[in-house]
Every structure is written in structure tokens, then in C-alpha cells.
Amino acid sequence: MKDSRSRLPAFVTVAKIIRKFGDGILAAIYLGANNGRAEGLNNHVRLIIRRAYGFHSAKATVALVMLSCGPIELLLPTKDRQDDSHRCRESQIFVVS
């Protein structure tokens, strides 16, 4: 390859990287894969942990993270569920999907 015979160290380095990881680079471009969702979730969790600085236990912090990012869906009272609206049971408030 001509680029590996270049006298510029930056071009030689880039050529080695492309040669070594070429299949992965092409697969990422073809599939559109990236780690954006993981980085966004990590940023969100770190923000919650920073807000939860004064909590007395780690359990409360984990509960806040799960409430914000986890698979918990809060159901608000609606007209079709008014017959049991005076009762407050956990099964009516939280639904884990």
C-alpha cells in the first residue's frame, strides 16, 4: 500500500488502523451502529446520581435511577378506572413491562 510507505507518521498510523479494524469500520457504517444510546443513558444516570447526593442510602439512589430510566411506567387515574380510585395499591400505580 502506498499510504504505509508514506513518510508522514500520521498517514502510516491511519493506514495501520484502517487495515486492522477495516471490517469493523465498514460494518459500523453499513449497520449505522454507534454507542450513542449507551452514552446518553450513562450521562442521564450520572446526572441523577449527582442530584441524589444527599440521600441517606444507595437504595434510594438506585430507586430514583430505576424510576427515571427503568422499565417502570406510571399509570395515571382515568375515567375507566374510577371505581378503584379511592384505593391506593401498588399494582395500580406501577406496571413493570
Report the C-alpha gap between 71 and 66 in whole angstroms: 7
Backbone angles phi, psi at 95, to 5 degrees: -125, 120
pTM of the shown model:
0.48
Could you tell me the three cell numbers for 89? 395499591
Distances (CA, A) of 17 to 2, 25, 28, 45, 91: 15, 10, 15, 33, 54
Residue type for 50, please? R
Give 52-64 pLDDT, tens digit per residue.
Answer: 888 889 999 888 8
> Cβ contacts of residue 74 below 8 Å, gap of 6+?
93, 94
The 10s digit of each residue's pLDDT in 14-53 is 999 999 999 988 988 888 877 888 888 899 999 999 998 8
Per-residue pLDDT for 92 more than 60?
A: no
